[in-house]
Amino acid sequence: MRRRFGAARSLWLVIATLAALALACGGDDELPPLGFEAALGGRTFELPIEVGAYEGDRLFVAERPGRVWIVSESDPQGTLLMDITTRSDIRLGEGLLTLALDPEFASNGYLWAFYFVLPERPPLTRLSRFTVEGDSVDLDSELVLLELDQPGFNQNGADIVFGPDGMLYLSLGDGSASTDPFLNGQNKMTLLGSIIRIDVRESSEAELYRIPSDNPFVDDLEARPELFAYGVRNPFRMSIDPKSGELWLGDVQVSAEEEIDRVQAGDNLGWSLMEGAHCLRRDCDPAGLTPPIWTYLHDQGRCAVVGGLVYRGDQFKALRGRYLFGDFCSGEVWSLDRDAEVAAPEVIAQLGAGLVSFGTDAAGEVLVLDHEGGGVFRLVEVDE
């Protein structure tokens, strides 16, 4: 028995030594130097806000004024998929906020959008479903599921994502200004300042959406049943890892720090009692609040977090399973180890000011958008 244990231990030491040597010599899992290169032949868009995979190895790119394009490397000019510029209000810098393809898009052609409605005052936001026929949206097919007043003309960050459960998740800013004067962040009777979860698989004019029976507040008479989590300020942006099912969120804070959240059902993420990891109000009591995974200060040119995604591509093995996110002003992109006991993100690349959104192509490789310059960029290996 001892000889077997000793032999096994010796074999383990040999394997460990070889693994260490491979790592020291630059093994397959060592992260190369990374940067960004222009995609689509350098084509630019007007205030792009969303990019993702489309049928046939193509991409969709959504512009804030309300246009959505289908493009590819071989056809960067592409096709205009949707134009709601006559319905979407961008006069206050808002317009189309987020776009998502239905999980069953290949069979039902459904496209989901959340946008500011023209010419409503006070501002009104709308969650709608459109139907794609061929490579064009039928605007007459719009089914309006939800409309929300935005009382403060600000903090309207939003993102539509679908989970592995088939449910639609929508993040919603608190709709106010600065430090939440309407106290929406801690008000469970409003959808503002929250993440909602609804079942839209059989949406119709007769029944716009259903409340999932396992929503955390479905039996709470002092809460909206749509709520999945609450206590967010300006949630920009959100993603769900298709492998683990984890929901990740970048929540833009006020003036001192930014935060990254890993959200679970029923979480109170703290806004506006807290800003990041610190108390903002005198009556702040952190007990019962879900703290951020990580926060960072407004220094070194940083100003607003941009939530990203968990990398599941094949190009960079060292990034697999890590959460990538960025900052709008500095353009830095961080990699965060999801399994670490204490989060310690590392900067892996830098785009420049205007980094506004992350997406992936059909192979799961990372794309980012430059909101100010209008470009689409790929994460690539670069020379040091």
Quick: pLDDT tens for 181-197. 999 999 999 999 999 99
Q: Is residue 39 part of a domain?
A: no
Total domains in the chain come to 1
Between residues 27 and 44, which one has the greater pLDDT? Answer: 44
Q: For residue 154, what pLDDT is reported? A: 80
Contact call for residues 157 and 98 (beta carbons, < 8 A): no
Q: Is residue 58 part of a domain?
A: no
Q: For residue 92, what pLDDT is reported? A: 66
Helices (H) and strands (E) in the chain — how many of each? 2, 26
Q: Is residue 326 part of a domain?
A: yes
Task: Tell me the average pLDDT of the chain.
Answer: 91
Q: Is residue 121 part of a domain?
A: no
How many CB atoms sit inside 10 A of residue 106's CB? 9
Q: Is residue 48 part of a domain?
A: no
Average pLDDT over residues 158-175: 96
Contact call for residues 164 and 139 (beta carbons, < 8 A): no
Q: Is residue 101 part of a domain?
A: no
Average pLDDT over residues 291-312: 96
| Residue 372 structural domain | 305-384
Q: Is residue 376 part of a domain?
A: yes
For residue 199, which of 247, 159, 163, 167 has the smallest C-alpha distance? Answer: 167
- Whole-angstrom Cα distance, residue 49 to residue 277? 28
Q: State the pTM of this model.
A: 0.91
Q: Is residue 44 part of a domain?
A: no
